Structure 1
């Protein structure tokens, strides 16, 4: 199962559309906030690909601050990250994921891409395809899950 993970598009619909066009074989799109309108537009343009999105600190809709998604036998905790103090560390995020029995936690907010394991939870921040920080390239994430227990997390640079 291929999951496309994006965050912090900040009203840049064109970059999000480019990313989805390059990943039309995705089974699921997860938008981690600060791009509520773009996520809704993508959902309308690609109705064949389920789309989950959560509210970020710059979104003013009525969406949830987090969602739990089940995919290929894994439970995935999806949030923007601003309510879990992700600038100071990821233990609070990992604890929230564990409280929901999740194996994977996805977050955005920092505009800095990252993958790893924290407190036995797989963690990914896809970075930002619109406004990356610390001189990073614009990025997004792809997760490949297999029924035999394999988790592959990749950070991908947005083509220029």
Structure 2
């Protein structure tokens, strides 16, 4: 299973389209963790499983969603409803409640991945307004035979050295 995860694009459309074009033949799933600031009918957001962020005013996007691919259960939310800027605890409990192996979220604009017990948390950062680094980032998740690899890429699709991580999930 392979997925591209983006968040916090804040109105960008060309960049979303470029990411889809770049990865369309190699991934099973495109995920947008909210704050697209786009209408639900926008072409740029159509390929993505989308959730609503605190800057999304349309009710067309759900606050959270479950995606399943190759036996992996992903819980997707923006993160603002779970206080992710201070702790992942509430999000962890919600993931356990949902039976999720992986949580995809945004809101903080900080790229990173970490595992707590048997739950993997992925924040792709922001392709519009990154925090904590200069690169505008998104994540590529790849799972194969018990190995989970996260590669963070800049907006041009180049892997960011030192940000890649491997987990056993």
Contact 1:77 1:97 (C-alpha < 8 Å) held by counterparts: yes
Change (3 A) 1:43 1:131: closer
- The residue aligned with 1:76 is 74
**Match of residue 157 from structure 1:** 154
1:53 lines up with 2:50 in the alignment: yes
Conservation of the 8 A alpha-carbon contact between 1:91 and 1:118: no
Give the deviation of 1:12 after TM superposition: 0.8
Question: Is 1:8 matched with 2:11?
Answer: no
How far is the alpha carbon of 1:38 from its aligned partner? 7.1
Q: In structure 1, what is the equivalent of residue 28 of structure 2?
A: 27
Cα distance in 2 for residues equivalent to 1:102 and 1:135: 29
* Aligned match of 1:95: 93
Q: Deviating runs (4+, > 6 A) in structure 1?
A: none
Q: CA deviation at 1:136?
A: 3.1
**RMSD over aligned Cα, in angstroms?**
1.8
User: Secondary structure at the residue paired with 1:16?
Assistant: helix
Q: Tell me, in whole angstroms, the C-alpha distance in 1 between the residues paired with 2:122 and 2:91.
A: 11
Q: Would you say the 8 A contact 2:16–2:45 is kept in 1? A: no
| TM-score of the two chains, using structure 1 as the length reference | 0.88
The alignment's TM-score, normalised by the length of structure 2, stands at 0.84
> Per-residue displacement from partner, 1:41-73 (whole Å, max 9, x unpaired)?
2354xxxxx531000000011221100111111
Contact 2:33 2:76 in 1 (8 A): yes
Q: Structure 2 unaligned runs (5+)?
A: 158-169
**Equivalent residue number for residue 164 of structure 2:** none
1:36 Cα deviation from its structure 2 partner: 5.0
1:141 matched residue in structure 2: 139
The offset of 1:16, in angstroms, is 1.2
Q: Please name the residue that 1:41 is paired with.
A: 43
